[in-house]
Amino acid sequence: VITNLLSAIPYIGKTLVYWLWGGFSVSNATLSRFFVLHFVLPFAIMALVVIHLLFLHETGSNNPLGISSNVNLIPFHVFYTVKDVVGFIILSISLTLICLFSPNLLTDPENYIPANPLSTPVHIQPEWYFL
């Protein structure tokens, strides 16, 4: 899907596909780049979130119109950072405990229906299926 979206860009689409994936076929270079991208992307997003929180705590929340609202700014304080870190740790621990002790709690019950190649599953039946 990403390859098709990139190749649809006029003039530079083919170059982007070769730069990002190494070509249009699925080969070792393509799979390596795909796995690296999917491994690094969550860490990059997490780093951006940390930077965003840091600047939000340093400068406070402001409006995009540029109106001076220094009265409404929340100053940087250790309490806010500790509060965010504790919240992140509690969320991480709770998600880890759910994943370790009850891994099927957040899954779809349809995962346990035995496969039947002669019938189409309900969740992928198109609208015109019963016409």
Ordered per-residue pLDDT tens for the chain, 131 residues:
566 777 888 899 888 888 877 777 777 777 777 788 888 889 999 999 999 888 877 766 666 666 666 666 666 678 888 998 999 999 999 999 998 898 888 877 767 777 788 887 777 777 776 66
Choice among 38, 68, 108, 127 that is catalytic: 127
33: exposed, middle or buried (Cβ count in 10 Å: 0-12, 13-18, 19+): middle
Choice among 32, 61, 69, 94 that is catalytic: 61
Q: Is the pTM of this model over 0.75?
A: no
Supply the range of the domain harboring residue 86. Answer: 2-130
pLDDT of 20: 79
- Distance, in Å, from the CA atom of 16 to the CA atom of 6, rounded to the nearest integer, reads 6
Give yes or no: 61 in active site.
yes
Give yes or no: 108 in active site.
no
Give yes or no: 83 in active site.
yes
Per the structure, the count of domains in the chain is: 1
User: Who's near 53: CB < 8 A, 6+ residues apart?
Assistant: 84
pLDDT of 73: 62
Give yes or no: 58 in active site.
no
Give yes or no: 84 in active site.
yes
- Distance, in Å, from the CA atom of 33 to the CA atom of 35, rounded to the nearest integer, reads 6
- Distance, in Å, from the CA atom of 16 to the CA atom of 7, rounded to the nearest integer, reads 7
Choice among 14, 52, 77, 83 that is catalytic: 83
